[in-house]
Chain A
Amino acid sequence: MTSNLVLALTIGALFACGIYLMLSRNLIRVLLGFLLAGHAVNLLLLASGTGGVPPIVGQAKDGEAMADPIPQALILTSIVIGLAVSTFLLAMAYRNYQVTKEPEIPEELEDSEYAGSDPSGGDE
């Protein structure tokens, strides 16, 4: 399989931007980052197969290579999973906004055990 420089660079750039965005405390940024990085992985999956005419028996003329259908099946599955996770993240971002009135996840941990471990931080 020959590799495609443009594709490789695109995948790299998408990954870098995606991971950078996912490092944020802002859930919408996390969502966007996840989508970008998800696209990067899908492109990577696409690049793992061979291209050619549609893989339907009788469609290919003699000597023509058929496309590898498996990566496309994998990508479809991965897109569906990405959809589910994205909706969850959206719901979570909305809920977080409802509760905190901010787009970001609060910085400090708030469970009782954590608060209890720090006598100076008992301001509630």
Chain B
Amino acid sequence: MTWLLPLAVILPLAGAGVTLVASRRPRVQRVISVGVLATQLLVELTMLLQVTANGTMVMHVGGWTAPFGITLVADELAAFMLVVSSIVALTVLIYAISQGMADESETPETPVSIFHPTFLILATGVTNAFLAGDLFNLFVSFEILLTASYVLLTIGGTRERLRAGAPYIVVSLLSSLIFLAAIAMIYAATGTVNMADLSVKLPQVAPGIVATLQAMLLVAFGVKAAVFPMSAWLPDSYPSAPAPATAVFAGLLTKVGIYAIIRVQTLLFPPGSFGTLLMIAALLTMLVGILGAIAQSGIKRILSFTLVSHIGYMLFGIALASETGLGAAIYYVAHHILVQAALFLGAGMIERVAGTTVLARVGGLAAAAPVLAILFFIPAMNLAGVPPLSGFLGKVGLFEAGVQDGRVLALILVAGGALTSLLTLYAIVRVWGRAFWRPVPEVMDPEDERDALQTESGRPLAVRRRAQQEARRRVASEEAARLPIGMVGATTAIVAIGLLLTFAAGPIYALTDQAAANLMDRSVYVDAVLDAGIPAPPGASGQGSGP
């Protein structure tokens, strides 16, 4: 069944090619991209079942054996991440199609026919990253998904999106350069880029060099995962993108960074190395992120900051380097992918119903759009970690692992995590209270305030403007009744799957714990890759892999 591995990568890539050719036929594009992603999800579900039943699946592409060729590897972690990411990609695609972003343009010159191919290429990159068995293939997958994300972030090429996209692109380019430089040095030190092979060979390298290599990789992945000192780009760039793009970025891109950190920390480097540093970074990511969220006044910005903040929880689990910590971190990654994507989709619908996501100007949505209110409320509470939802279960798992660890820093992190959780509740309830509970705001926007100051001269203007606004609101609330069924359906699906993580927490936790156990015991991965059916060539153990 190892042919499933390349199939999962090839499907969206081929789909991207076909949709690009069919760029003048939006209906064909839609059918192909939904079909491709749905098939991919089925392939990945089969893969997950296979992996849990028979152990790690390995495919040497083109028959080149392990340390030389390109290896695709699916262990429990990779297969689980693939399934969750495909669910998000598929639901977000349906949402985007329904929103009409893919077929009707926002500005006249928007080249929207490229949306489907780009989205599928993004899916290809994400899939390939989870399956990559060597560092260079991981680098290539990062480039595939990043290049697609540059296009999605600046789609339409408006002034605002170019401005928001520029820092993201420059920061991503820099992190890619660091990653590639790290690969060059790793190759110079060991003569291989295959991760299983590196796991065997890196311990023979001088510890100082290994620490340097590890630091470079952690910086490169830390930028992608938005870990604190390297996280400033995220809240700056995400809010301007179209809602579906933001949702899929928030769900997947940062998590690919987290996945890469998990992979190199558990497979390549000495267990628990850089633990203290990672814990401090995790603490700062949580606190700085959530304090940023509290200071914001727009829904999408608040959500972007909570995204950064909750990356800290996952990093905490990784830094503990224990089986319970890792298991909880993996569960938390899955929970956070689903919840954060659902919230951004919800924010997109708020924007559609109310015309804005600025907190001062939205209100009364609970009455205007009750379905939306429920769809936003559930993931919001889930994010904050209100029991019995999956956010709570994930956090409890992490705190348990932290207390088990017993180091002072770990205990401080447990306290910091609890504090962050409460502050998240505060931030997200503020959104809920303002946007949904309170009546349509009487607060005037800055233009009105300025008009109101010059009452005598400006009165007619202010009155007229208020009347216009009333009219706009009426239109908006009528619009609210007609949220496209696909948008509501897609968001409902993702919220429901998020709830499934709660109801099926037992089996899923068992799965993530098993994944963590296999990560902690490197020999599972290494043996699977290095003696997968094909006998290792005689020269495989030597330094320098030149023939």
Contacts and interface: CB of A to CB of B under 8 A. Distances in A.
B360 interface: yes
Contacts of A30: 166, 170
Nearest to B171: A22
Main secondary structure of the interface of A (DSSP, over half): helix
Contacts of A84: 143, 147
Interface string B315-333: 0000000000000000000
Interface residues of A, number: 54
B194 to A, nearest CB: 11
A44 interface: yes
Given A45-B184, A92-B169, A109-B236, A116 B445 contact: yes
B147 A66 contact: no
A114 B159 CA distance: 14
B544 A68 contact: yes
A70 B137 CA distance: 13
Contacts of B154: 92, 95
Contacts of B544: 50, 68
Interface string A91-124: 0100110011000011011111110110110100
A69 B193 CA distance: 13
A47 B184 CA distance: 8
Contacts of B356: 112, 116
Given A113-B300, A119-B449, A45 B180 contact: yes
B173 A34 contact: yes
Nearest to B143: A81
Contact of B546 (A38, A49, A110, A113): A49
B105 interface: no
Given A44-B181, A70-B187, A92-B154, A113 B239 contact: yes
B158 interface: yes
Contacts of B450: 122
B24 interface: no
A99 B162 contact: yes
B164 to A, nearest CB: 7
Contact of B298 (A38, A48, A57, A112): A112
Main secondary structure of the interface of B (DSSP, over half): helix
A20 to B, nearest CB: 12
B378 interface: no
Nearest to A96: B162
A113 B358 contact: yes
B299 interface: yes
A13 interface: no
Contacts of B166: 25, 27, 30, 92, 96, 105
A58 to B, nearest CB: 12
Contacts of B364: none
Interface in B327-376: 356-358, 360-361
B442 interface: no
Contacts of A89: 169
A38 B133 CA distance: 24
Nearest to A46: B184
B177 A37 contact: yes
A25 B296 CA distance: 25
A67 interface: yes
A96 B123 CA distance: 27
A22 B174 contact: yes
B447 A49 contact: no
A116 B297 contact: yes
Contacts of A110: 159-160, 163
A41 B175 CA distance: 12
B159 to A, nearest CB: 5
A78 B162 contact: no
27 contacts: A19-B174, A41-B184, A44-B185, A45-B180, A45-B183, A45-B184, A48-B188, A50-B544, A52-B546, A66-B547, A67-B546, A68-B546, A69-B546, A71-B187, A74-B193, A81-B143, A84-B147, A85-B173, A88-B151, A92-B169, A99-B158, A109-B236, A113-B296, A116-B356, A117-B358, A119-B446, A122-B446
Interface of B: 68, 136, 140, 143, 147, 150-151, 154, 157-160, 162-166, 169-170, 173-174, 177, 180-181, 183-185, 187-188, 193, 236, 239-240, 296-301, 356-358, 360-361, 445-447, 449-450, 544-547
In the complex, the 6 A-B pairs of residues with the closest C-beta atoms, listed nearest first = A113-B298, A122-B446, A116-B358, A48-B188, A117-B297, A68-B546
